[in-house]
Each structure stands twice: as structure tokens, then as C-alpha cells.
Amino acid sequence: MVESLLSVEHVSRRFGGLLAVNAASLSAPTARITALIGPNGAGKTTLFAVISGFLKPSAGRVRYGGEDVTGEPPHRLARRGIARTFQIVQPFAGLSVRDNILVGAHLRHRARAAALAVAEEVGREVGLGDMLDRPAHTLTVAGRKRLELARALATEPKLLLLDEVLAGLNPSEIRDVVPVIRAFCARGIAVIMIEHVMQAVMSLAEHVFVLAEGRIIAEGTPAQVVADSAVVEAYLGHGAAAKVRSANVH
Amino acid sequence: MLSPLILISVVLNGLLTGAVYALVALGLTLIYGVLHIINFAHGALLSAALFAAFFAYQKLGLDPYVAAFLLAPAFFAFGYALQRFIIGPASHGDDRNMLLITLGLAVFIENALLYAFHADTRTIDLAYGFKSIDFGFTFLAVPRVISFAAVFFVALALWLIMALTDTGKAIRAVAKEKLGAELAGIDVAHIYAMTFGLGTACVAVAACLLIPTYYANPRAGNAFVLVAFTVVVLGGMGSVPGALIGGLVIGVVESLAGFYFGESLGQVGIFLIFIVVLLLRPRGLFGASA
Amino acid sequence: MKALLLIAIAVAVFAAVPLVVHSNVVLNFLVVTLMIALAGQGWNILGGYGGQYSFGHAAFFGTGAYVTAILQVEYGVNAWIGFAAGIVAGAAVGAIIGGLAFRAGLRSSYFALVTLAFAEVLRILASVAPITGAGVGLLVKLDLRAQSFQFQSRAIFYYVILALVAVSLVIAQLLERSRFGTWLIAVRENEDAAMALGVDAFAVKLGAMVLSAAVTAAAGCFYVQYFLFIDSGIAYGTWISIEALLTPIIGGVGTVFGALVGALVVKSLGEGAKLVTGDVPGLDLMIYGAVLIVVIRFAPRGLVGAFTDARERLARRFAAPRPPVREAVRG
């Protein structure tokens, strides 16, 4: 069994009266792709915010590489090797693509020349090689997603949290990005992806966790999870599992 | 041993002053609640209104309480125009730009007043300005009692506008959810301007209430408005009850502090409250999260 | 290092001025302008590069000024040491205000408000405290010797302030090329995204605040040496908070030369207006207010920014034809 790089243990997060995440536990092994899926409003992004340090959990622990990192601020976690992308892309709009990635590269490289070299290399890797000089705000949605990836990658992470990185992309763009993500694993990076695009989840993820109303309701291989009736109900509503089964019978 | 009667008098006077602080703060909080900007020009607008009230008395012989009915709509229109034609278009939607624009307006208006009217302090002599009402245990100046009543009248009028008129409802809609309001067909630029106009009108009424006991000079508004900022931050940005209660509280605090520590240190005390609230609980007592 | 060359050329041009111009009026104007440019460059570090708009930079100007003055007047400390002490004191005040404000997570309007409040508190305290001369102010004794940082010839003051401004230009240039500067700009553009990339936003903002305060404090120290008088209204007054923010905004926030260009423009406008209508109080600031509004309305990135935009537009017009559609869609 592969060792877990990240271990989220019974994490809960409360906002006033709302329990957005309820004793959720998951783990992500090194150099593997793990998916976190669930209907809208399930609490996936909140969970990511807790893992990446933007929110403190109301209860539970987050362990990374064996160490308890619960409640550490985002920049400290980034230095440990946890990088994330945002669901709503947040480029440094006024800066060029190169300068955007440069910010990430500077985490590991103090000297500007070295950091620039890394930034250019990473930019080329994600397919933005011929756009490095363009202002970030001129990129299309797909381009901005690649930029998010590039920036995160430039920090040389060991764990990459991708928050709906495929949202808003058309099928051919998705086909272009999937191998880029798969290549991360080849470099030893663990990936957790929040995703709604099921084709990508099925083809990329080795292990899937399903979050609904703040709780983990299922986990397993993509095939197992998709067949799980609790998961079907979470997406399609109460009684849907039975309907699907009876539809299949006919 | 200080007579409790003196203390009561100090507190009551604090309440009366506080009422006017509340009115100025009301304008400020209204603008913040809807436009989400801190109107740095509020002080300069108050100075301008004080001059207007002064000249209304001096040149037109208008009693300030009567002038209020003339100046409120005039300043409403002025505020509307400022937001519609200068602040709005210049902000380019960026928070920081709006800060700078209102600052620029503040500097411009204050110094235009300085340029036109010089730095001398102007006061008016109302016939009944020095009269007091005998409440038995203390005397309270007539103008200040009138102010107190007037402020609550204005607050009530504003509440009615917000609750009952279409414009009021539109204002509340925009304050809650601008994009949604826009999609529902509300002209946001117009509503912003209406709100700014209302805030400015509050300031104009406050000036008319103040002029019998206060003075007009280019910097007069500033002193008042920094206290109003404290009220708004304490009561909560965008909260109307916060502005009213906060105004009364600060009025009393200032009165007591000034009584015990003297005026300058009293002012420093207000600022320190301001800073402490900003640092520890920026949303104040009743406001939404900063 | 094209940029450093540009700085050198600019400094050389300014340095040549006293050799050609002997009018004290003009020299005085330039000395004051350069002093404001220095104060403005300080603001620019925090506001332009860091995106944190302070409305109370007078707090640092005034602290630098008072510390310099008090050390000389009360304790007989050497003026040059006083100058250094003033800068350190200003930086310390920056650390306190910045530490408190950024620890509390204040941004944008709230940050502007709290800086305004701090400056006002200092002004009121200075207007009543005996050590600052209360309402009367402090007079530094006339002692026209180099050891006392006072000079017979105005030209020498000019060269001193020019040297200080040159240093501030180099600081800005180095900032742009450094990791700290890159992080600072990232925080300005998007604080959360920057933090996700490992930037300690609090430390970066605080560092910028301290540097910014030090530079503006230096301008305050110079003021005292040049004018030999300081009081609470001059030291901590809103006039300097406004001029320190106005010059980089007009000249171009977040650029090396913005504060200098802005100072030249703003001060020239002020003097020009006075020439036309006479020295009526309020006129210059009135113009500054109007200019601020106009600049934000029509050229929010200031003059240098507008210049860079225009240059880029021209470059694109003469550049290679647009790439084929396929490439553009790949995005």
C-alpha cells in the first residue's frame, strides 16, 4: 500500500450555524491522483481551504508528510510543498504571464535570473511558452487555468490541490490539459482534484472521495464510487438510485 | 465631591451633541452601506454646508431651521451630481480609486472654501441662540434641544423613505446585492447618486442645526467628521441604528472626557477609541463583516 | 542595467542645474520639489508597489522632523546623527503602525482610515506636548557650518536633497528587480493568490511599510535642516500626507520615476497658479485636489503609466501581424 502524503482526519468547519464540513477524512498518496467529488455546495472548496491553510478547522487534524500542520498559514504550507489553484482563477492581472509564474518560482529561488529561468521552463511545460510576455488579463479562460497550474507548479510542490481546474474548458481544451496533469504524477507530485467533469475523474483518478452536505459518503476507485447508491442519491436526489436500477432492468 | 446634577448636565449635553454626530454619521453610514465607499469628502461637505447656512442667515435673513428646508434639497442635488458625474465615472470600479477621488474632492472643496472665504471663523447670532430651557435640575440650550428633536425627525423620515418608497426599496436592494438589483432592472448609477445625495442632505441639515452654536470655517467640518467616522466605525459601517446609538454614546463619552481631561486630550481619546475599534473589531457593534 | 543608466542621466541633468541657474527663487523651488519627491517616493514604496494606500504619511515625515529637531535643540546632538536618528525613528513608527494595522488585517479604506487617525493623534499630541514646543513649535539654532548640516549656499542643500532623491530612485529600481519587490507587487495584485504561492503577506507589507516610513522620514529630517523651524501643523499636518500621496499618483504609482515626475508637475502647477492669481491661501491645494480627480478619471496610472501605455500601443501598431487564429484559440 502506498504511503499517504496527506492525511485529513475528521476535519469539521463551522460557519455560525452552518456546518459546512462535518468530520471529513481523506488521504492522498504520493505521486497519485485523488479526486474529491460531490454535488454543488457539498463543502469541497471549504475543505480545500482548510487543507491549504486559508481556513482553520473547527475540529480535526491535517497531517502532511507525517507532521501535524493543522492551522498553519497558507504561505507556510506552500513552503512545505502544498500548492493550490483557485476555483475562480486569480491571476496577477496587471503582470505578464512570465511575471505571474515568477512569483511562484521565487519561493525556491531567491535570485531573479534563476527564478526567471524556472518560470519560463514551467510556462513552456503547461503550454504557455509563446504567451510569456502577454499581460495575464488578456488570456482566455483556458489560458488562465494553465497559468494557475504554472504558478502552482513553479513552487515545486509535493502536493497539488486543483480546484475545478477543468471547469469552463471545452472538450478539446480538456483533452489538452489532462496529460499535463497526469505528467505531474510522473514527477512524484501528489494531486487532489476537485472536479465535476466526470470523464476526467474517471480517466485520471485512482482513488475518489465523495463529499455531500459536508460528509464523506463514499470512497473507492472511480468505478466503485459511481456504482454506489448513496452517491447516486446525493447527485440525483432521494430515491434516484432505485429509479436508476429499475431503469437498467428495463 | 462632584454634584450628580453637574454630571447629569454633562451627560445630557453629551446626548444633545451626540444627536448631531449621529446625523452626520447617518449620512456617512448610508453612503458606505450602499456604495461601499468611505466618503472622505464628508467633512468638506459639512464645511460647505455650514458656510451655506451661515450665508443663508446673513444674506437672506433665513433662520437656520427654516434654511434647512432649502439647503437639504440643494445639497441633495449637489451630492447627486457629485456621485453621478464625478465620483462614479472616475472610480473605474476600483475601491482604491474611489478613496482617492473622495480625498481629492475633500481637498478641493475645503481649499476652495479657504480661497473664497478665507480662514476666519464665522458665527451667527440667533435671537434665541442663548436662551435655555429650564428643566428643573438643569438648563439646556434651546438650539441644542431643537437639534435633538430634529435629528430624530430626520432619522424617522429616512426610515420611512427606505421602507415605503420605491427608491428606498431600490436602495436597500442595491445595498444587499448590487448585481442582482442591476439584473432586475434597477439603474444602479442612479441609485448610487440618490444615496450619495441623501447622505449629503443629512450633512446639510446637520449644518443648519449646528450653526446657531457652532461656527463656519473651511476646516470646521473636518473636526466634526472625524468624530462621525469614529461613530460609524463603532456603530458598524452601514448600520443605521449603529450610527444613531453610536452617535449618542460618543457624544456622551466626549462630553465626559472633555469635562475631566480637557478638550485636546478629549479629542485624542476619541481617536484612540477609533483606532482601537478599527484594530480589534472593524465591523463595530452592529456592522457586517469588514 | 538600462534603468540605472536612466537614473544616472536624470540625476546628472538635475545636478547641472545650479551651474546654470543662479536664482535663489528657482533653487528654493527645486529644493522643495525634490523634498516632496522624496516624501512621495516613500509613499510610493508602500502605496505604489505595495498597493496599501496610506492617508497618514505625515506620521513619518513629522517623526523624522521632530526627532532631528529635538535631538539638536534639547540634547545638543550633532545634526547628522540627528538626521540618521530621525530616519530610524520614522521607520520605528512605521513598524508600529504597520504591525498593528496589518496584524488586524486592515485593507483598503480601513487601512487608509487608521493611518489617517494615527497621524492626527500624533499631530494633536505634538500640539500640546512641551517637548515639541506645543503650540509654538521648535526653532533650530542657526549655525551655518557643514557639521551642523546647515550651509551658507542654497546649492549645497540642493545637492544634498538631490543625492537623497537619487538614493530613493535606486531603492525603487532595486525593489523592482528583487524577490522582495516581486512578492510585494504580488501582494498588491492579489494577496490570497500570493499567499498560496508562499508569500508571507504580513511580513512583506510590514517590510514595505518600514522602508516607506524611513524614506519619508528622511524628507522630514531634511525639512528641519532647510527651514530650521517645525511645528505640529507642519510636521504632522494633512498637507504632507496629501502631497506625499499626490505626487506618485499623478506621476505614476509603482514606477521608479513617478514620484519625481509628479512632484515636478504638482509643484509647478502650484507655483504657476500663484504667479497668476497671487499667493492666496488654499489655491495650491485646491488645484492639487482638482488634478487628483482629473488624473484618476483620465489617467489612473499617472503620467508615467500613461506614457508607458502610449508607448506600448505604438509598439503594437508597428509590431508583427497577429498570430493565426488557431494559436489564439489555444489560449
Q: Where are the domains of chain C?
A: 2-330
For helices C258-277 and C238-251, angle between their N-to-C axes, nearest 10 degrees: 120
CATH of the domain at B13: 1.10.3470
Is residue A230 one of the residues assigned to a domain?
no
Residues 6+ apart with CB under 8 A from A168: A141, A142, A145
Residues 6+ apart with CB under 8 A from C140: C69, C72, C73, C224, C225, C228, C229, C230
Is residue A152 one of the residues assigned to a domain?
yes
CATH architecture label of C2-330: Orthogonal Bundle (1.10)
What's the mean pLDDT in A91-109? 94
Q: Are 3 or more Cβ–Cβ pairs between C and B shorter than 8 Å?
A: yes
For helices A112-125 and C179-189, angle between their N-to-C axes, nearest 10 degrees: 50
What whole-number percentage of chain B has pLDDT above 70? 94
Residues in C lying within 8 Å of A, measured between beta carbons: 177-179, 182-183, 185-186, 189-190, 192-201, 323, 327, 329-331
CB contact under 8 A, C329 and A140: yes
Question: Other C-beta atoms within 10 Å of C254: how many?
Answer: 24
pLDDT at B1 over 70: no
pLDDT of residue B2: 61
What's the CA gap between B37 and C248, in Å, rounded?
22
- Mutation test of the interface with chain C: which of B28, B40, B92, B96, choosing the one with the most C Cβ atoms within 10 A? B96
Residue A38 has which C-alpha cell? 460531490
**Count of the separate structural domains present in chain B:** 1
Reported as a pLDDT band with limits 50, 70 and 90, residue C331 is very low
- Mutation test of the interface with chain B: which of C100, C286, C294, C298, choosing the one with the most B Cβ atoms within 10 A? C286
> Does the CB of B162 have a partner CB in chain C at under 8 Å?
no
Contacts of A150 in chain C (CB under 8 A): none
**Count of the separate structural domains present in chain A:** 1
pLDDT at C149 over 60: yes
What's the mean pLDDT in C63-90? 93
Size of interface B-C (CB pairs under 8 A): 125
CATH of the domain at A50: 3.40.50.300
Residues in A lying within 8 Å of C, measured between beta carbons: 52, 54, 73-76, 78-79, 83-84, 86, 90-95, 99, 102-104, 106-107, 110-112, 115, 127, 130, 139-143, 146, 151-152, 154-155, 173, 176
pLDDT of residue C33: 97
pLDDT of residue B288: 61
Gap from C140 CA to chain A (nearest CA, Å): 46
pLDDT at A88 over 60: yes
For chain B, percent helix, then strand, then coil, each to nearest 5? Answer: 75, 5, 20
CB contact under 8 A, A106 and C183: yes
State how far Cα C116 lies from the chain centre: 16
Is residue A246 one of the residues assigned to a domain?
no
Contact C4, C166 (CB under 8 A): no
Q: Which domain holds residue A108?
A: 4-224
Is residue A229 one of the residues assigned to a domain?
no
> Does the CB of C121 have a partner CB in chain B at under 8 Å?
yes
Q: Which domain holds residue B159?
A: 4-280
Mean pLDDT, chain C, whole residue set: 89
Gap from B61 CA to chain C (nearest CA, Å): 29
Q: Nearest-5° angle of CA B139, CA B142, CA B143?
A: 135
What's the mean pLDDT in C2-23? 90
Task: Give C117-127 pLDDT, tens digit per residue.
Answer: 999 999 989 98
Is residue B133 one of the residues assigned to a domain?
yes
Is residue B287 one of the residues assigned to a domain?
no
CB contact under 8 A, C197 and A103: yes
pLDDT of residue C303: 83
